Amino acid sequence: MKKVQAVILAFGFGSALVLAGCNSTDSKISVGVNNMLETTEQLAKAIENGDQAKVKEVGPQLEDQWSSFEEGVKKDNKDLYEKIEKYLAPTIAGSEAATLDKDALGSLNDQLTLALKELEDHTK
């Protein structure tokens, strides 16, 4: 009887670990996307206000935020990964530029935001 209980307990524990692992990837992606969306919102406001110092402060944060969960996206959502990458690098580069091109950077940030919202919807 104790062997049966031990097997059932071990199976239940193993299943819980597998399920927790699945949820942690989705959770990590969800948290990462939310962080990036907050940053793109801050960036949009800084661009709109012409606040180049704030743009230079906020824009580069996107890279660190993305690197914290991008592998999970690359593995499970290759198309969305590529879409985000397409707009991320130019957005960061534009935020670090010597002069602020409000129209170009605003457009790139908008496209990045849309791609992130698409990922957010996909992971719900």
| pLDDT of 40 higher than 90 | yes
Distance from C-alpha of 76 to C-alpha of 7, rounded to nearest angstrom? 32
| pLDDT of 18 higher than 50 | no
Q: How many domains does the chain have?
A: 1
CB-CB contact of 47 with 18 (8 Å): no
Report yes or no on 38 lying in a domain: yes
What amino acid occupies position 56?
Answer: K
DSSP string, 16-47: HHHHHHHHHHHHHHHHHHHHHHHHHHHHHHHH
Report yes or no on 5 lying in a domain: no
Report yes or no on 32 lying in a domain: yes
Residue 69 sits in a domain whose CATH number is 1.20.120
pTM, entire model: 0.80
Looking at the chain, the whole-number percentage of residues with pLDDT higher than 90 is 75
Measured between alpha carbons, how far is residue 119 from residues 72, 77, 90, 93 in Å? Answer: 12, 8, 19, 22
Q: What is the pLDDT of residues 48-99, one digit of tens each?
A: 999 999 999 999 999 999 999 999 999 989 999 999 999 999 999 999 999 9
Give the domain range for residue 91. Answer: 26-122
CB-CB contact of 116 with 37 (8 Å): yes
What amino acid occupies position 82?
Answer: E
